[in-house]
Structure 1
């Protein structure tokens, strides 16, 4: 693996959930491109309830840069680490650029994405294959998720073995495959 090739690395942020300076804020300050799935939560701060955007999974972070840029940060910050592939000796996990860009675009197109861990995605959730024709998600292929009693249609977008998300889609853009 080349140290000068930019790619999406899967990282861990081992700071506490209430930390003042988590890794994604450090990366933002340094101007390094990152993605962490965010959700809205109600938190109590100094006795007042506040709505805050927080990471869906505290320790999951995707960083787009070269090893030569990320390695010094990993050395400097003990709570910021690579995730390694299983059954290998220190080979960092990466995500294909095309897959990551599609995932980010899909999640950012929705006001309320819902995230799932790989084990939470059941085979019956993947019941109907669809392709999006037109709209923000033009060309996406995936599974149509329908929830009983809900009029909202959702598209399942996945990063295999890492994370899945469902995003709202307009029914007029859906083509069944």
Structure 2
């Protein structure tokens, strides 16, 4: 099996406007393709009514689980959908390992209020003690406690290397120091 036939997580971008009616992640989901877009809740006022809606954390970032053979014709049909390319390579798309992506999606879906961070927003001072989660939804996860000044809530930092990080709330009884 060559790289074009291999099903994997591709890092892609959608160049549509923030208020587009049919962004690429919805189009891909309608075609039955597995898509993950980090989302956050946002309140907006439309026609005098305050509406709470879910919007992407980073407007042009989406992760798509498919093969290049299946994805390339779709990318050609949707002019605003593009692969993100690795630097200093000739058109080699960015990908994320399956296990790493599944852990990230699981962590995000286990939390009611995930907080997202770009890699440049995380400082060395934010990394707390190295921990392992024992029990609960995140059983077996290892990572760092996120230290936030004045916060009484314990949060685990789960990272997608070079792309995005999320902190999710964990109960103190599930935390084991490493």
Report the TM-score when normalising by structure 2: 0.97
CA-CA distance at 1:148 after TM superposition: 2.4
1:71 partner SS: helix
2:17 partner SS: coil
The answer on 1:107 being equivalent to 2:97 is: no
Unaligned runs of 5+ in 1: none
Correspondence list, 1:55-94, <5 A: 55-94=56-95
Unaligned runs of 5+ in 2: none
1:16 & 1:47 partners in 2: Cα distance? 22
Two-structure CA RMSD over aligned residues (Å): 0.9
1:105 partner SS: helix
Residue 156 of structure 1 aligns with which residue?
157
1:21 & 1:47 partners in 2: Cα distance? 23
CA-CA distance at 1:150 after TM superposition: 1.9
2:52 & 2:177 partners in 1: Cα distance? 38
Correspondence list, 1:18-97, <5 A: 18-97=19-98
1:45 & 1:67 partners in 2: Cα distance? 39
1:52 & 1:33 partners in 2: Cα distance? 22
Is residue 146–residue 152 contact of structure 1 (8 Å, CA) maintained in 2? Answer: no
C-alpha distance after superposition, 1:41-61 (max 9, x if no partner) = 011223321000000001000
Q: Which runs of 4+ in 1 moved over 3 A?
A: none
1:28 & 1:3 partners in 2: Cα distance? 21
C-alpha distance after superposition, 1:19-52 (max 9, x if no partner) = 0110111011111001000000011223321000
2:99 & 2:90 partners in 1: Cα distance? 26
CA-CA distance at 1:91 after TM superposition: 0.3
CA-CA distance at 1:149 after TM superposition: 2.2
